[in-house]
Every structure is written in structure tokens, then in C-alpha cells.
């Protein structure tokens, strides 16, 4: 599986000139990170990119098909957790700071939560530990919006999936 930043590179030509420059900045930023978002300050690094509808659409197009691939017995070497979770932070920023959800970002995040819960099951079955990165990201925006609350509950196991 490719790294998120490398996949984002392939989206440049489909963007306006202004957003191509913004995408270059996003790619540089994602490549510079050495850990997944740990706190609100880390998540807010994605805020400038979340205001761009084109960048948000490119991120959605990348993460929707992005799947955890289990390799070997204990690790996920082909999975770009850092890039993926910064993309989730970008989408959470979009939800928190954009009243209109014309890209249906909340629905995309609902799908990503279900993928995350499946990942948790696989990791637990292998005796691993879940670090609940997505939950931590969503909690960073609790004071900004209530539109992520049902996702927080779902990740905590307090809500069943929507039917």
C-alpha cells in the first residue's frame, strides 16, 4: 500500500493552480510528521487545508478506498497510519469549521469509523493494543461542534451502528 502523501501527489493535476500549491504544502506537512495527531494542536495543523473544498475532496477520494492490510503476524508495515490519521484530522476540521456539509464529510467519517472498528477487532484478535487515534482526533473538536458526537460514542462502544 502506498503512503498517503504519495497518493496525494497523483491528485495535483486535477486541482486548480491555487489548490495545487496548497496540496504541495499539505504533502510536505504530512511527510514531516513522525507521529499520528496526539492533541488538538496537532489536529489543527490540518485546519488551513480543510477550508479548501478541492483539497477536502481529494482527501476523501484517497481515504475512502484506503484499507488496513494485515501482513505477517504482528505488524502493518504497508499502512500509513500517520498520513491516514492526519487526513482524518483534516476532515474533522472541515466538519468543525464549516457549517455546510456539501461534501457529506460526516457520512465519510461514519464509514471510516466502521473501518476503524474492524481494524480494532483484528488488532485485538492478534493480541495487540488499540491506540484509539481516531477517537482522540474527534474528541479534540468536542467544543467546536456536536456533529462528531455520535462518532465518538460509536468508537467508545456506546452506540450501535446506524441502520
Q: How many domains does the chain have?
A: 1
**161 in a domain, yes or no?**
no
Greatest alpha-carbon pair distance for the chain in Å reads 47
The predicted structure's pLDDT at residue 1: 44
Which H/E stretch holds residue 44?
A: none
| 94 or 80: which leads in pLDDT | 94
At residue 140, the 3 state secondary structure works out as coil
**115 in a domain, yes or no?**
yes
Is pLDDT above 60 for 91?
Answer: yes
* Alpha helices (runs of H) in 33-77, residue ranges in sequence order: 40-43, 47-50, 53-63
The predicted structure's pLDDT at residue 108: 95
**151 in a domain, yes or no?**
yes
Residue 15 DSSP one-character state: S
* Among the ranges given (5-14, 112-121, 122-131), the one the predictor scored with the smallest mean pLDDT: 122-131
Give CA–CA dist 87/64, Å, rounded.
11
**28 in a domain, yes or no?**
yes
The predicted structure's pLDDT at residue 114: 92
The predicted structure's pLDDT at residue 70: 56
For the segment 13-70, what is each residue's pLDDT rounded down to a tens digit? 999 999 999 999 999 999 999 999 999 999 999 999 999 999 999 999 999 998 766 5
**162 in a domain, yes or no?**
no
Is pLDDT above 60 for 73?
Answer: no
**12 in a domain, yes or no?**
yes
**163 in a domain, yes or no?**
no
Its domain, for residue 10, covers: 4-156
For the segment 123-161, what is each residue's pLDDT rounded down to a tens digit? 788 887 777 899 999 999 999 999 999 999 999 987 666
Give CA–CA dist 128/5, Å, rounded.
27
**13 in a domain, yes or no?**
yes
pTM over 0.75: yes
Amino acid at each position: 500500500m502506498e503512503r498517503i502523501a504519495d497518493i496525494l501527489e497523483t491528485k495535483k493535476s486535477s486541482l486548480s493552480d491555487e489548490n495545487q500549491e496548497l496540496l504541495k504544502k499539505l504533502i510536505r506537512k504530512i511527510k514531516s510528521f513522525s507521529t499520528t495527531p496526539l492533541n488538538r494542536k496537532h489536529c489543527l495543523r490540518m485546519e488551513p487545508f480543510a477550508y479548501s473544498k478541492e483539497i477536502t475532496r481529494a482527501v476523501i477520494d484517497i481515504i475512502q478506498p484506503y484499507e488496513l492490510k494485515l501482513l505477517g503476524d504482528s505488524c502493518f508495515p504497508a499502512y500509513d497510519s500517520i498520513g491516514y490519521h492526519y487526513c482524518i484530522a483534516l476532515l474533522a476540521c472541515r466538519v468543525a469549521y464549516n457549517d455546510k456539509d456539501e461534501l457529506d464529510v460526516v457520512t465519510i467519517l461514519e464509514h471510516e469509523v466502521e473501518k476503524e472498528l474492524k481494524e480494532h477487532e483484528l488488532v485485538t484478535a492478534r493480541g495487540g493494543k488499540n491506540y484509539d487515534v481516531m477517537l482522540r482526533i474527534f474528541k479534540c473538536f468536542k467544543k467546536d461542534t456536536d456533529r462528531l458526537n455520535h462518532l465518538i460514542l460509536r468508537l467508545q462502544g456506546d452506540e450501535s451502528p446506524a441502520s
